[in-house]
Amino acid sequence: MERSELVIETGNEAHRFSVELARTSEERAVGLMYRDRLPPDAGMLFVNDREQVVGMWMKNTLIPLDMLFIGSDGRILQIVERTVPLSTRLIKSKQPVRAVLELNGGTADRLGIKPGDRVRHEIFPAE
């Protein structure tokens, strides 16, 4: 998968991550399945062609994750923290989103990331 840099601006801080981009339906279907670890500054950005309500699950995913649901403008709209590994429970966005960022479980809490914070990446327009 393609890799790129992503920054989350929260308060007066900027947190940098190296992310894999899941752009195709095949890449999005596999996601972070079967991995037993994820570096603390890494993640996966699931990119949709347009804003839409999305559903994610943790089937075959071995590590807890934080899921950040992001609108077309790069604002975090919703965060689901510490998802349960191997669960088939559907985790849906409450509204249409352009992308979902998966990070290690507990990262959002540890860094103080919250809805309304801004994600800077090439897929989102610059302000």
CATH number of 3-120: 3.40.50.300, 2.60.120.1140, 3.40.630.10, 3.10.20.30?
A: 2.60.120.1140
| pLDDT recorded at residue 127 | 67
Residue ranges of the chain with per-residue pLDDT less than 70:
127
The b/e string for 54-64 (b: 16+ C-beta within 10 A; e otherwise) is bebbbeebeeb
Residue 101: in which H helix or E strand, if any?
strand 97-104
Tens-digit pLDDT profile for residues 53-85: 999 999 999 999 999 999 999 999 999 999 999
